[in-house]
Chain A
Amino acid sequence: MDKMMFLLSEGVKNLWRHKLTAFTAIFSIFLTLSVAGSLMIVGQNTNKIIEYLRGKYKIEVFFNENVSDKQIASVVEEFNKINGVRSTTLISKTDAGKIFKSQFGENILDIVGYNPLPASCVVNVVQYQIEKMNIMPIVERIKSYPEVDEVQYQGRLIYRIETYYQKFVKIMTVLLILILIISVFIISNTVRLTIIAKKELIQALQLIGATRSFVKAPFVIEGVFHGLIGAILASALLIVGLEIGSGITDSVIKLKIQYSPFILVGILSSLSVVISFLGSSRAISKFLK
């Protein structure tokens, strides 16, 4: 327990003892996390947009004239079981007539003497899916039912939206990973400067019989503190920026930026602890080799 307290206090004292390197490390982490946090917020909001768009994807299915309402109801039940289908809305011939009247103001029976409008069904697809949404298997499956006369969908548009979204997700992921890897190297090199400055301490510790983990611990603890301070500063900057940005987008395009301050702080803190732990461990381990 006393040993732990000593290592912890050494880690904290080192923050003060190595002011310049602490500032450099904290500033690097702050910049890295601000960029990473911004990317995450952009990603999260893009997700919301794609979910909204997917909510608008519709497959309209028209049934053959000679199919009974009972058969239609049973086929629609089958549609609900297709993988990727979120919900279905059945529009009977009578409903179609009502829709016609609401849209054109006249009764279809009065115009042509009978109801030529087919029974139909609107199939809505799932909104939450990370991978590219391909509605063609759903369309093909629906088309395979003999009761179905025609299927209409915005195939080309959906394909383009999904393709662009997937490219965006890939670029964002690569960018984020790249930033995190770079930050591990930045932190590692910053900690190396501290270590070079503290060469005497490390040698003294080794000479008096300190184990590798005892020598490493204060540097790793110091690194984790750098990470936490950097994360707090980056979170503060992002939250202030997002609040201002959200106010602007809300007044201009009636759209609020979606984010949770608690989740943001949580993710950035954990991320920074992990990267600063990896960075400082890497640096001190390389030195002790």
Chain B
Amino acid sequence: MIRLDNASYSYTNGSGISNINLTIGDDEFAFIIGPTGSGKTTLLRMVYMDLLPQVGKVVVDEFDSKIIKSRKIPFLRRKIGMVFQDYHLLDDRNLFDNIALSLHVLGWAKDEIVDRVTESLEEVGLDGKDDRYPEELSGGEQQRACIARALVKDPDIILADEPTGNLDPVTSFELIKLLEEVNREGTTIIMASHDYNLIKGRGHRIIEIQDGSVRQS
């Protein structure tokens, strides 16, 4: 479960989020919608504790931002898979190595890593492309690779920050469908987007964020 209690964070330029109270339950699929600069990314960064609230707190399962020690934050992030608009794939290694990195961090054995990465690539429809480098993949494939990287460690939560930002409408819909499949298997999904047309009518919770404050619908 993810809970934000009166959480506020303000950047030096005055932007940020203020007094956010929000609970996202296990297995939930929630969209965070709002214009660019409204505070969506700040909210997500608080969930994976890249930013700690200056006021209030964020609680993700047993991790409480008020009391968490910085050396414990990696253990929170191991429960979270992250997908970004600009992919964040490493150019100097192929798809397999990009995805396997998460499992190396968790200390998996080599043969287990091979099986699990292959399985993840199949899940996102990238089987057989494990030796390709990011630059050899299309935008949609790179984003699916990001989802595979997020999925490979079987996370409790997936945070997707504008994952369709660089994709065409068809690929964007396919990506959302893929995330919905993942959600059906029990993973909490929080996806930030500024494109209302993309998310409307899908039957998921929509959290609207405007000027750093939340309006739920």
Contact = CB atoms under 8 A, between A and B. Distances in A.
Interface of A: 2-3, 5-6, 17, 200-201, 203-212, 214
Interface of B: 48, 50, 71, 74-78, 80, 82, 88, 90-92, 101-102, 104-110, 113, 149, 153
Contact of B71 (A204, A206, A211): A211
B109 A210 contact: no
A204 B48 contact: no
Contacts of B80: 209
16 contacts: A2-B113, A200-B90, A201-B90, A204-B90, A205-B101, A205-B105, A207-B50, A208-B77, A208-B102, A208-B105, A209-B78, A209-B80, A209-B102, A209-B106, A212-B71, A212-B74
Given A203-B88, A207-B82, A209-B74, A2 B101 contact: no
Given A207-B88, A210-B74, A210-B105, 18 more contacts: A2-B107, A2-B109, A200-B90, A200-B91, A201-B92, A203-B88, A205-B101, A206-B74, A207-B50, A208-B78, A209-B74, A209-B76, A209-B78, A209-B102, A209-B105, A209-B106, A212-B71, A214-B105
Q: Is the interface of A mostly helix, strand, loop or mixed?
A: helix
A201 B88 CA distance: 9
Interface centre among B76, B92, B108, B110 (most CB of A within 10 A): B92
A99 B93 CA distance: 85
B101 A204 contact: yes
A17 B88 contact: no
B42 to A, nearest CB: 16
Contacts of A209: 74-78, 80, 102, 105-106
A5 B100 CA distance: 14
A3 B88 contact: no
Nearest to B110: A2
Contacts of B101: 204-205, 208
B189 to A, nearest CB: 17
B157 to A, nearest CB: 12
A115 B78 CA distance: 98
Give the 5 A-B residue pairs with the shortest CB-CB distance, closest first: A209-B78, A209-B77, A209-B74, A208-B102, A3-B107
A2 to B, nearest CB: 5
A208 B153 contact: yes
Given A2-B108, A2-B110, A214-B105, A207 B77 contact: yes
A206 B14 CA distance: 27
Contacts of B153: 208
A7 to B, nearest CB: 8
Contacts of A203: 88
A232 B78 CA distance: 41
Contacts of A17: 92
A209 B149 CA distance: 13
Contacts of A207: 48, 50, 77, 82, 88
Contacts of A200: 88, 90-91
Contacts of A204: 88, 90, 101
A2 B82 CA distance: 24
A210 to B, nearest CB: 5
A17 to B, nearest CB: 6
